[in-house]
Amino acid sequence: MHVVPPSLPAVNTLVQVQRLGLVEYAPTWALQEELLAATVAIKTKNRLVETGGTDVGLQPTPNHLLLCQHPHTYTLGKSGKPEHLLLDEAGLQAHSATFHRINRGGDITYHGPGQLVGYPILDLDNFRPDIGWYLRALEQAVINLLAEYGLRAGRIAGLTGVWLGWEPDAPNPRKICAMGVKCSRWTTMHGLALNVNPDLSYFGYIVPCGITDKAVTSLAQELQAPVAVEEVQERLLPHLLTQLGCS
């Protein structure tokens, strides 16, 4: 007897965008975890339905994108070294900063006012289940955005993120956008941090991403002019949707 396999749930490429403004880090991390857990729960239920030999009850999974800024915050990824934070507890308090050990990949980074942070919580089974592709898509969205401002950004081999002065013979390579992600059952969280006009002195209290021989920059510093985070946010959004194949 020929058995017809159950059909997969409909692929959902819609993304629900939340513009959160300036929000504390911890509750935003908790929101990401909540959204990821809800998506993974749907995927787990779908798998149980499929193994039961029916397609009744299969549900498409949601996708989310959180856009925000944070107060002064340092986060250390799973592979990071605590000594890359150069402030003790008193130093953190003196600079009105918080510190969080988190579950993304990568080393230490800084978040603060003037930095645009994007947290995609995407089911990559709706798009392409490939972390390398996903990271390159995020990078390309930022590269294309910066081209609108007349900046020629690119990648440095072996280093995730977006750089200026990235060419092999460039004398002053400098990072303008950091990235770090976590993926569970092909569902992503964490994401990218684009320096629009933050106080760059806060990067002086860490070894950014564990890299000692390259600088950090911002859009405002490169343009020598103020730039509104809200403007960059709205200009980045269509590039993210295009590169990821979202709507």
> pLDDT tens-digit profile of 113-152?
999 999 999 999 999 999 999 999 999 999 999 999 999 9
pLDDT band per the 50, 70, 90 thresholds, residue 240: very high
CA distance 65 to 158: 26
Q: Which amino acid is at 40?
A: V
- Mean per-residue pLDDT for 179-187? 94
pLDDT of residue 1: 40
pLDDT exceeds cutoff 90 at 3: no
Longest dimension (CA), the chain: 73
34 pLDDT more than 60: yes
Where are the chain's structural domains? 16-244
Task: Say what the pLDDT of residue 49 is.
Answer: 83
Q: Alpha-carbon distance 175 to 160, whole Å?
A: 10
Of residues 52 and 31, more confidently modeled:
31
* DSSP tally for the chain: helices H, then strands E: 5, 11
Q: Which residues pair with 238 in a beta bridge?
A: none
- Looking at residue 125, what is its pLDDT? 96
Q: What percent of the chain shows pLDDT beyond 70?
A: 94
**CB atoms near residue 55 (< 10 Å):** 15
Please give the pLDDT value at position 5.
45
Are 130 and 124 within 8 A, CB to CB? yes
Residues in Cβ contact with 243 at an 8 Å cutoff, skipping those fewer than 6 apart: 137, 138, 140, 141, 144
Calculate the average pLDDT of the chain: 92
pLDDT of residue 56: 62
Mean pLDDT of the 83-98 span = 94
For residue 64, what are its two tokens? 């989310």
Instruction: Answer yes or no: is pLDDT of 6 > 50.
Output: no
Structure tokens at 174: 């400098």
Question: Which residues on neighbouring strands pair with residue 181, listed in sequence order?
Answer: 190
Q: Annotated catalytic residue: which of 68, 177, 183, 209?
A: 209
Query: Which of the pair, 61 or 11, is modelled with greater confidence?
Result: 61
Kindly give, in sequence order, each residue whose CB lies less than 8 Å from that of residue 222, ignoring residues fewer than 6 positions away.
Answer: 149, 151, 164, 176
Mean pLDDT of 194-222: 91
For the chain, the 3-state helix, strand and coil shares in percent, each to the nearest 5, are 35, 25, 40
Give the CATH fold of the 16-244 domain.
BirA Bifunctional Protein; domain 2 (3.30.930)
Question: Looking at the predicted structure, is the pLDDT value of residue 94 above 90?
Answer: yes
pLDDT digits (tens, 9 = 90+) for 35-85: 999 999 999 999 888 776 666 678 999 999 999 999 999 999 888 889 999
> Considering just the CA atoms, what is the radius of gyration of the chain in Å?
19
Contacting residues for 127 by C-beta, under 8 A, at least 6 apart: 13, 134, 244, 245, 246
- Of 69-73, 212-216, 231-235, the poorest mean pLDDT is in 212-216
177 catalytically annotated? no
